[in-house]
């Protein structure tokens, strides 16, 4: 009997591993079905396996440069006259051998004719930032937004414009949505949570959050100088309150 014990232990471990794998496969299948139904309800197309092609015109954002074997899965895509929207799982691998790790992150990408943005990345600050061990750009801080500056690292290629763009509303958005990441350039905005594959029942809310950020960021012409900006009529709080939510208006 004792001679069989090692085989029993090995067999039990293999059985447990197979059961865990089957549970993961079934969960992924259920999520894929739910995403397909969501795409239909939104009037979007759904592509389970989209390869590594993000389409023409998409900037090479920091997220898309990480790792290897990059793949797009569970792609929901829709458009209006002025806006293209994609929701997808971005997958890539880091490390090698036994140390390799697969990362899956759900991303909302918006291309809008109403956006004219400088290149920038906004991400949560980490302990490595505090230690001065990150090298992805100088952090832009705001004296009048101490909580945002404490919680987030912002850098980009046009500090003057970013200081105008990240007003109280934009900084407040990130304060209210911890662990959020956003990157932008020109007409493109991507929004995601690091190392987070979004549950299917949270995707609609996640999309709405991305559109709220899109609304806050749009409307500043790229070449508007300070004098011209000051001459623009202010929008009253009442008028802002009467504006319909962007996501509902677009789709």
Measured in degrees and rounded to the nearest 5, phi and psi for residue 178 equal -65, 150
**Mean pLDDT comparison of 6-15, 20-29, 37-46, highest-scoring range:** 37-46
Residues 174 and 203 grouped into a single domain: no
According to the model, what pLDDT value does residue 108 have?
A: 97
The per-residue pLDDT for 238 is: 38
Q: How far is CA 158 from CA 86, 137, 161, 205, 224, in A?
A: 27, 12, 6, 31, 14
pLDDT tens digits for 103-151? 999 999 999 999 999 999 999 986 666 555 455 557 888 889 999 999 9
Do the beta carbons of residue 31 and residue 200 sit within 8 Å?
A: yes
Between 19 and 109, the more confident residue is 109
Q: Which of 181, 216, 231 is the last residue of a domain?
A: 181
Contacts of 33 (CB under 8 A, 6+ apart): none
Identify whether residues 81 and 152 lie together within a single domain.
Answer: no
Question: What distance, in Å, lies between the first and last C-alpha atoms of the chain?
Answer: 67
Total count of domains within the chain: 2
Q: Do 43 and 92 have their domain in common?
A: yes
For residue 247, the model assigns a pLDDT of 47
**Residue 108 phi, psi dihedral angles, 5° rounding:** -105, 125
Q: What DSSP string describes the chain?
A: -GGGHHHHHHHHHHHHHHHHHHHHHHHHHHHHHHHHHHHHHHT-EEEEE-TT---TT----GGGGSSEEEEEEEEEEEE-SSEEEEEEEEEEEES-GGG-EEEEEEEEEEEETT--EEEEEEEE--HHHHTT---S-PPP--TT-HHHHHHEEEEES-HHHHHHHS-HHHHHHHHHSTTEEEEEEETEEEEEETT----GGGHHHHHHHHHHHHHHHTT--TT--HHHHHTSPPPPHHHHHHSPPHHHHH-
pLDDT above 80 for 226: no
- The whole-model pTM stands at 0.77
Whether residue 148 is found in the same domain as residue 72: no
Q: Clarify whether residues 111 and 134 are in a common domain.
A: no
Which of 24-38, 127-141, 155-169, 212-226 has the weakest average pLDDT? 127-141
| 181, 201, 228 - which closes a domain | 181
Domain residues for the domain of 9 are: 5-116+187-250
If asked whether residues 45 and 60 sit together in one domain, one would say yes
């Amino acid at each position: 009997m004792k001679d069989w014990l090692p085989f029993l232990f090995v067999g039990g471990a293999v059985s447990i591993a197979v059961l865990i794998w089957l549970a993961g496969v079934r969960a992924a299948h259920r999520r894929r079905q739910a995403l397909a139904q969501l795409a239909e309800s939104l009037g979007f197309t759904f592509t389970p396996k989209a390869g590594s092609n993000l389409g023409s015109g998409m900037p090479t954002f920091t997220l898309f440069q990480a790792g290897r074997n990059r793949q797009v899965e569970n792609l929901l895509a829709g458009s209006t006259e002025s806006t293209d929207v994609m929701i997808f799982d971005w997958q890539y691998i880091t490390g090698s051998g036994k140390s390799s790790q697969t990362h899956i992150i759900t991303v909302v990408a918006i291309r809008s004719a109403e956006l004219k943005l400088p290149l920038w990345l906004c991400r949560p600050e980490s302990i490595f930032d505090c230690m001065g061990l990150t090298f992805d750009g100088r952090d832009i801080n705001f004296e009048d937004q101490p909580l945002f500056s404490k919680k987030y690292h912002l850098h980009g290629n046009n500090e003057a414009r970013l200081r105008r763009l990240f007003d109280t509303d934009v900084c407040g958005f990130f304060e209210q949505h911890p662990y959020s990441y956003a990157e932008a350039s020109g007409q493109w905005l991507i929004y995601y949570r690091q190392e987070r594959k979004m549950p299917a029942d949270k995707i609609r809310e996640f999309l709405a959050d991305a559109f709220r950020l899109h609304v806050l960021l749009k409307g500043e012409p790229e070449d508007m100088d300070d004098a011209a900006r000051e001459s623009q009529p202010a929008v009253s709080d009442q008028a802002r309150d009467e504006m319909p939510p962007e996501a509902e208006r677009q789709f």
